[in-house]
């Protein structure tokens, strides 16, 4: 098991990881968009609104899974990087390879420890959760049905996320891509069969999503074990010690990811004030955005493994290069996407049967919001760096500031001034401010580490490996 990302072009590694991840994510997101299209063909606006509300609730569970996968990927990637930096006659390198396998196995078990009880809570409190974010009447009943069918598979989604992050950690981004790609293909094939041929409607769309999750998790597990032989037998004597290590990253990472659903819930509640049509338009935008920006979401999963291996190998200059390359990638990616959306937004409004007011909202999104994602991409590049530097609290603070301190008041202010458009504008402005700030802080932190200066702050610090340190006054570049 070699530290693949500790050698060669950092930008090439990040681009490769981002795009392969994006292809897999795109397949999932495009199926979600096709879901919305098929549901729109049924001719009921309430169905589209219901998927929007349910999707927001499901995002809560997915955010927890993402936080767990970040923790597992970080500790495994750093162990792989350390195996190269410390492979001496004392067999330390071999010990770190063994640790990588043990942490991978314990990481999967750790995921189940989180997702099983959360699934129970979500099933019990589905209606109150959806009602809080504005679902009412028939929409609430439909959203509850969809939520419960898809939500019961949260533990499977957790396994899928962890397996995919592990594949990227060991330098197998194409296998990670294929797991999600096949999941998307299966979902896309089952959707019309279950929705129309079997006549299941909304239930059919939900069941297709569940089967897709099973496929992604199953393939990911197969590739990790049969292709890379990464998983080791559980070591119960060390399990709780490893859980504490995972908690050091997972808890801040989960908090980091949970602020987004809170902000989105507030935005959805604000949007609901402008009627079902506005929520339906926002639901379409919510399906279009992940498709458009699959590459950016892939970037957030690409920076971590590359920077982690180089940090573990003590090549701090390549950690800085990871951040810079991520910023460049974000800007280069968003420019053509913005142009594409400007050209296609009227056609999309027609395809999804949006009325004049909803179509106008989509046009506003295409004209003024899409381009701002370049600045949001800066935060997606910066947040994994905070975790790599063992200060995940900075990522938590970054997202909490964006979603709660900035987004909620900005959404409230701008929606009061400009209606539904203000909801979109408030989110975009918060993303832009937080993106710029996070990128600047991450760059400053790496520079301090590179020059041997302390970046320790008690609220943000999580020491994973006390034997790795940076001596003051020493420039740790590594070769």
User: 374 vs 29, 394, 442, CA distance in Å?
Assistant: 19, 21, 17
Sign of CA dihedral 261, 263, 267, 269: positive
The runs of H, that is alpha helices, within 86-199 are 92-124, 126-132, 137-151, 154-169, 173-192
**Which tokens in the block code for residue 210?**
């569940």
Query: What is the spatial distance between Cα 259 and Cα 470, in angstroms, rounded to a whole number?
Result: 32
Copy the structure tokens of residue 236. 């119960």
Tokens for 346? 């009227």
Residue 379 has a CB neighbour count (10 Å cut-off) of: 24
Tokens of 60: 């809560």
Q: Quote the Cα angle for 136-140-144, to 5°.
A: 160
C-alpha span between 419 and 411 (Å, rounded): 10
CB neighbours of residue 440 within 10 Å: 12
Q: What is the pLDDT along the chain (479 residues), one digit of tens a residue?
A: 566 777 888 888 888 888 877 776 676 666 666 777 777 777 776 787 788 788 777 878 888 888 898 889 888 887 887 766 554 444 444 566 688 889 999 999 999 999 999 999 999 999 998 988 778 888 899 999 999 999 999 999 999 999 988 998 888 888 988 998 898 889 889 989 998 899 898 899 899 989 999 999 999 999 999 888 888 889 999 999 999 989 988 888 787 777 877 888 889 889 888 887 787 788 788 878 888 888 888 887 788 888 888 888 888 899 999 999 999 999 999 999 999 999 998 898 888 877 888 888 999 999 999 999 999 999 999 999 998 887 878 888 898 999 999 999 999 999 999 999 999 999 999 999 999 999 999 999 999 988 888 777 654 444 443 333 333 233 333 33
Count of helix runs (H) and strand runs (E) in the chain: 17, 0
Instruction: Report how far residue 223's alpha carbon sits from residue 27's, in angstroms, rounded to the nearest whole number.
Output: 19
In whole angstroms, what separates CA 331 from the centre of its chain? 19
Q: Is 396 within 8 Å of 379 (Cβ atoms)?
A: no
- The conformation of residue 202, written as its DSSP 8-state character, comes to H
How much is the pTM? Answer: 0.71
Tokens of 459: 């609220």
Cβ 368 vs Cβ 287: under 8 Å: no
Q: What secondary structure letter does DSSP report for 401?
A: I
């Amino acid at each position: 098991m070699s530290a693949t990302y500790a050698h060669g072009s950092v930008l090439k590694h990040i681009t490769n990881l981002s795009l392969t991840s994006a292809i897999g994510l795109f397949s999932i997101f495009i199926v979600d968009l096709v879901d919305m299209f098929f549901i729109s063909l049924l001719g009921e606006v309430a169905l589209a609104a219901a998927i929007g509300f349910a999707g927001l609730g499901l995002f809560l569970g997915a955010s927890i899974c993402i936080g767990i996968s970040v923790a597992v990927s970080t500790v495994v990637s750093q162990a792989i990087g350390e195996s190269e930096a410390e492979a001496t006659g004392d067999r330390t390198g071999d010990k770190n390879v063994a640790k990588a396998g043990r942490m991978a196995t314990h990481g999967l078990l750790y995921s189940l420890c989180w997702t099983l009880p959360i699934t129970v809570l979500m099933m019990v409190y589905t209606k109150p959760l959806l009602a809080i974010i504005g679902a009412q009447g028939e929409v609430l009943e439909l959203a509850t049905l969809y939520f419960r069918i898809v939500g019961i598979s949260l533990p499977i989604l957790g396994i899928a996320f962890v397996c995919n992050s592990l594949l990227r950690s060991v330098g197998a981004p194409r296998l990670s891509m294929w797991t999600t790609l096949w999941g998307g293909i299966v979902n896309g094939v089952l959707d019309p069969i279950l929705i129309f041929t079997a006549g299941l409607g909304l239930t059919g769309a939900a069941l297709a999503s569940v089967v897709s999750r099973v496929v992604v998790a199953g393939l990911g597990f197969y590739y990790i074990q049969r292709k890379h032989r990464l998983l080791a037998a559980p070591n119960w004597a060390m399990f709780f010690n490893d859980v504490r290590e995972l908690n050091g990253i997972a808890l801040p990472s989960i908090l980091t990811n949970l602020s987004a659903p809170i902000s989105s819930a507030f935005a959805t509640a604000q949007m609901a004030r402008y009627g079902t049509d506005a929520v339906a338009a926002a639901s379409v935008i919510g399906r279009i955005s992940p498709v458009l920006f699959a590459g950016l979401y892939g970037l957030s999963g690409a920076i971590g493994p590359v920077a982690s291996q180089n940090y573990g190998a003590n090549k701090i200059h390549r950690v800085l290069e990871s951040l810079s390359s991520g910023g460049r990638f974000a800007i280069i990616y968003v420019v053509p996407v913005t142009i594409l959306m400007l050209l296609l937004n009227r056609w999309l409004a027609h395809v999804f049967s949006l009325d004049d007011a909803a179509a106008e909202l989509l046009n506003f999104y295409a004209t003024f919001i899409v381009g701002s994602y370049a600045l949001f991409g800066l935060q997606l590049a910066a947040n994994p760096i905070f975790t790599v530097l063992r200060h995940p609290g900075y990522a938590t603070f970054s997202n909490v500031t964006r979603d709660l301190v900035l987004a909620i008041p900005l959404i409230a202010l701008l929606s009061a001034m400009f209606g539904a458009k203000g909801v979109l504008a408030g989110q975009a402005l918060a993303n832009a401010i937080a993106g710029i700030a996070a990128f600047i802080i991450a760059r400053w932190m790496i520079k301090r580490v590179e020059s041997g200066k302390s970046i320790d702050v008690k609220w943000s610090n999580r020491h994973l490996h006390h034997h790795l340190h940076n001596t003051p006054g020493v420039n740790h570049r590594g070769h």
